[in-house]
Structure 1
């Protein structure tokens, strides 16, 4: 480094340090803060330039009113006509269902230049948080004198259901859900408004929206245009209504202002969203269970499934499209889980948790009053997890079997329907059949949408072979019945699969729709080996349920006690784990050092797209128009001056997890400057632990969104609707 460069570098570091001190910067702490906790924060000191009341105002309109939960992701309203921005991957399943070989929106993208051209986003709804209320006293009051774990858990679940029913009776326009904020300790009633008619407006070309594919997934630097636009519709009177040509765009209470100028490094930013699940307030045994069983089993299984489905998709375009969503979901999970495994081992979180738990045990034993109440807590937790670990392989197999094999899912629906039908008095069977047939058809039709015979056959064969190798204390009874005392389980399973798939009529959708479920008599009389296999699996799940419920009840009480005593030990209240309820997280646009001598800057640019495109990896193919525009320096007003390029993605130290996909990234004024879509590979363990040094989240920069919309897809009408000047 020459002298001039060194001086410049030192000056930059000094200015950053001064800026941090002036803004009240402190070593960053984790936090996915519930609405109830926002008032405790000093966001002004952190860098917020608007009132915290403008973020959440329980007595008026605020930014949270612009947030929606869409298809398990987060989205935000960005116009008064119900326009929503979220991630490309959040719209993926709806785009797949709308695609055909003739109109392959999945590959080519989709742009609706008018409301009339917008198409139904099948399977997606919008859920808006209306209000919330702490109901912990009501829930726990119902079990104050109950010690039996199974009864306790049942009474808690009954209390939750009663509270939800009562809330919906008071206001039929809402959907009520009681969420467990701390397991066995705190419960909050959330009231939601649901919009049923959601439509696709603009989805970019897959080479943009999924640029980098699985090669780049869960990694940085990223160059993915992971965004899409949808629109919410309601009935003319403003009430929620299913898809109809008569519906009109929804007018939200609040929508976000889009700031096309984006951000700079070290700018204050915050996110509102619906993060899924985190498990940071769990003991060492839970983390060890994840590391030893859950993460390796699921990631390896999904790897096999994806290889099988990708090979099946090579047959024709129709099959490729049908399986695309399953493949994408699996791939996302398996890479995430392998990142978690690497992260857990890298920081040796199990050992850290063991040290924390040992210190907690010492605290309990050193205090007479605490010991009197919690003296057996740590031993009870350990004993419970010995039981859980003893059944781990069987439990994971039973958890995954129905999601793995489509025809088994169809068989499950058929068997469940047959059982319910058989329970009806003879005189009522036909009426029951006619009343419930539409729902049955809807369920199995959803399964057939992603069904491929060859893939299904190979995946089920693997599942049965895996089960045949379980030890005798964890048997899958239906599989043991097939293999018997055979010395060659693989051959027996292979023969069973070949015969079963050859003979079952469930593979024929025409037969299922037009014959099997045509009458009560037809469905009652049908049987085959696949239905028998499913019945055996279902019977065992039912038999195991009482013990599973007992363990859940024990765990519920132990984890509530664990958090209670840990708060006493740490002398502070914890932020509850994420649970798909609305949360806030905040931080700064900031790079990091993932490894020695490898600083990662917080912005990527179009130049990086072109550079990756020279590697020969098809996942880095991009539309030729991008190079043409870049070489002409046709950036419009969306370039970042110090980069002399359009920023594609940005990095920040906020606390996010699954469910935050699509969350709006907002600046100090509450303006939209990006859309969250991922985490860096080291941050995949955010579900279990967060640390400012390695936890980085990734979003698509709003300047790239606007540039692509304007320059690539000629969607300037959307920029106009968002109030962005071209």
Structure 2
């Protein structure tokens, strides 16, 4: 894997300001590949050369990593076998399931490659190379003072750099990622594998044991693992699903160590963590605490009550809605954990104090005051603008995902608008070239759509819109509200009439009749499409102001981070942004509260103890109890526990996107699969602390035990080189 050796421009500049000698190793951090030279993993406990993890001139462990469906996975055989989380495969299993073949409930074991089934909606993305392009991106806005123009030019330049990279190598997909907002930009080149198949997924009462009762909670006893396989065309190129495709041969695959780890062992993770926000000012934290987190959590709580009630109609409906319910539940519990953590730490006040100290530091230096004296007040003023439209903006951000038919309407309106903009005969060409993509996108929406759920949730969203502050109104909603009449009655009437007459509620009609020709698509119209046009119009009309705000924020945050690094006399690790990172630490318990210590391992015994209660989340297959009572552990027991370890804790720095990340021991061998954090660690997105930040992984010994003893998937153990006796 050939990675550019260019130094990140922004970091190099700060290094000159603070002096290289000021650097000290971080106790926390999701380290980009470019930063690995700043840490000494061997001193921390790594037993192999650090270059075996990442070597720009040769194959290394990072070549075994994949991004699959927004999660992380890793190759564990030379035939493209991937291990990740059960919850990362959940949507694909749901789409493959039916009341007759309920893989979601009963699990799926292929038994042979010929019986593996398509993991719909999932692709694999492999990091091929990266290159610092900060000079190119920021050079494009030299001398640009208009904030809206600045952000537009930056975004255009990022897309242009990615397009150029793709045009010079047709086998890759390219993306420019902002590492530090307004400061550092990196071009990533990715290989994409389009044909991903399900190999083995445990039954739901193993893969999701504990359900929402245990979600984001320790101790855990969840077998959150799944196996997939990557396929390519016979010539090795990426291709859509085909019976002629062959298993992908990765450059590198991880060795699985069935002996696992013990307390205080050194461990590390490679993965694609989503987003963190640790380098943001107090106003951003306040925005999260007072607005975004409570609004979203409460909305998803309401939606899930509706979806769960709707799912009681029949198993087919329950299956259709299951992925959405699971995603909502995961987010709302995470957000409530964050709220608890933010308030418990008084993080807004902490950040405000740090910001005041930074302002004093800037004002104490004549030159800094001259250039950055207004920095903190400008940030404060900008966030006042953001707060002024926050309820409207949050509503607009949720309306399409809340109501499936509105999302369908948005896709169709957008397609019709782009087609109408084409001159003459090019309209038909656009339709012919693009309708299959529109059809696929709509099919994905319909896969988790139910009319009754849509009606109830749409009603609530419109009622919420009718009660927004006067300066944050939704124009198209106001048009349906007449003074002197009940908002509820008018909204009920609008929705009743709109949903009765729209043909968009009929998936078969839309996919097989409406999309049949450009003429039928162009000529179709109804009240739901018109309502969506009104929404899109307001979003478009406010785009300039949003761009201006984003442009100002981009510049201010670049200066903010630079000044903080200067003030602290240290370099910061960029916030996570779904690019490949490393984090390291130790298998370790913790004390979440006074006089309480949480041990770092759970066992099958603990699973059975939970199962003795009446909580339906603690169901498990009877075979587990039978095997445990017979002490049929095979080679997968942990001797000091006299049991099979199920899950374990470690103090590594993780966040969303690290789901499915391989947990590796000091020798770079896979010993577990990361899947969650403890409730206290949901605050990790904003602040990390070794005292309470703990992540959770499923122990490889439990994975192998379940595969061999419970699901008789010994063929997988043979493929990854594990003896089953």
TM-score, normalization: structure 2? 0.95
Residue 685 of structure 2 is matched in structure 1 by: 687
Q: Distance in 2 between matches of 1:708 and 1:316?
A: 30
Aligned partner of 1:704 in structure 2 is: 702
Gap regions ≥5 residues in structure 2: 1-23
**1:34 and 2:25 aligned:** no
What does residue 326 of structure 2 align with? 328
Distance (Å, rounded) in 2 between the aligned partners of 1:106 and 1:447: 19
The CA distance in 1 between the partners of 2:640 and 2:137, in whole Å, is 56
Indicate the SS of the match to 1:143. coil
Partner of 1:12: none
Mapped contact 1:486–1:492 kept (Cα < 8 A): no
For 2:669 and 2:251, the matched residues in 1 are separated by: 16
Q: Shift in Å at residue 432 of structure 1?
A: 3.4
Report the counterpart of residue 488 of structure 1 in structure 2. Answer: 486
Q: 2:25·2:38 contact (CA, 8 Å) conserved in 1?
A: no
- Whole-angstrom distance in 2 between the partners of 1:517 and 1:114: 38
CA RMSD of aligned residues (A): 1.2
1:212 aligns with 210
In structure 2, the partner of 1:137 is 135
Q: Equivalent residue for 1:591? A: 589
Report deviation, 1:507: 0.8
Which residue matches 1:13?
Answer: none
What is the rounded CA distance, in whole Å, between the counterparts of 2:306 and 2:330 in structure 1? 16
Aligned to 1:664: 662
Question: In structure 1, what is the Cα distance between the partners aligned to 2:422 and 2:66?
Answer: 41
Q: Distance in 1 between matches of 2:523 and 2:166?
A: 40
Distance in 1 between residues matched to 2:717 and 2:260, nearest whole Å: 15
> How far has the Cα of 1:524 moved from its partner?
2.4
Change (3 A) 1:428 1:69: closer
Query: What is the CA-CA distance between 1:496 and the residue it aligns to?
Result: 1.2
Report SS of the residue matched to 2:185. Answer: strand
Name the structure 1 match of 2:413: 415
Q: 1 CA distance for matches of 2:192 and 2:418?
A: 30
Displacement after TM superposition at 1:427 (Å): 4.7
Contact preservation (8 Å) 1:164, 1:177: yes
1:676 matched to which residue of 2?
674
Aligned to 2:644: 646
In the alignment, is the contact (CA less than 8 A) between 1:209 and 1:224 conserved in 2? yes
Aligned residue number for residue 464 of structure 2:
466
Q: How does 1:129-528 map to 2 (within 5 A)?
A: 129-528=127-526
Provide the residue aligned with 2:566 in structure 1.
568
Distance in 1 (alpha carbons) for counterparts of 2:192 and 2:235: 15
Matches within 5 A, 1:616-655: 616-655=614-653
Q: Cα offset for 1:28?
A: 7.5
User: C-alpha deviations, 1:51-70, integer Å up to 9, x for none?
Assistant: 00000001001000000000
> CA separation in 2, counterparts of 1:501 and 1:107?
33
Q: Is the 8 A contact 1:28 1:692 kept in 2?
A: no
SS at match of 2:470: coil
Residue deviations 1:42-88 (CA, integer Å, cap 9, x gap) = 11111100000000001001000000000000000001111000000
Quick one: distance in 1 between partners of 2:429 and 2:187? 37
Tell me the distance in 2 between the aligned counterparts of 1:652 and 1:429: 57
- Separation in 2, partners of 1:352, 1:389: 20
Count of aligned pairs between the two proteins? 701
Once the two structures are TM-superposed, the CA of residue 660 in structure 1 deviates from its matched residue by 0.1
Q: Can you give the 5+ residue segments of structure 1 that lack an aligned partner in the other structure?
A: 1-25
SS of structure 1 residue aligned to 2:313: coil
- Counterpart Cα distance in 1 of 2:433 and 2:235: 30
DSSP 3-state at the match of 1:470: coil
State the distance in 1 between where 2:81 and 2:512 align.
Answer: 40
Aligned to 1:18: none
* Cα deviation code 1:657-702 (max 9, x no counterpart): 0000000000000000000000000100111000000000000000
Asked if 1:114 is matched to 2:112, the reply is yes
Equivalent pair of 2:25/2:39 in contact (CA under 8 Å)? no
- What is the deviation of 1:428? 4.4
Q: Report the Cα distance in structure 2 between the residues aligned to 1:667 and 1:435, rounded to whole angstroms.
A: 49
Hey, what's the Cα distance between the residues in 1 that align with 2:168 and 2:419?
34
Alpha-carbon separation, structure 1, partners of 2:188 and 2:431 = 35
Q: Distance in 1 between matches of 2:274 and 2:49?
A: 27
CA distance, structure 2, for counterparts of residue 403 and residue 566 of structure 1: 37
**Corresponding residue of 2:58:** 60
Native 8 Å contact 1:465 1:489 kept in 2: yes
For the Cα contact (< 8 Å) 1:504–1:529, is it kept in 2?
yes
Equivalents in 1 of 2:267, 2:434: separation in Å? Answer: 50
Q: Any idea what SS the aligned residue of 1:277 has? A: coil
Which deviates more from structure 2 when the two are superposed, residues 424-433 or residues 30-39?
424-433
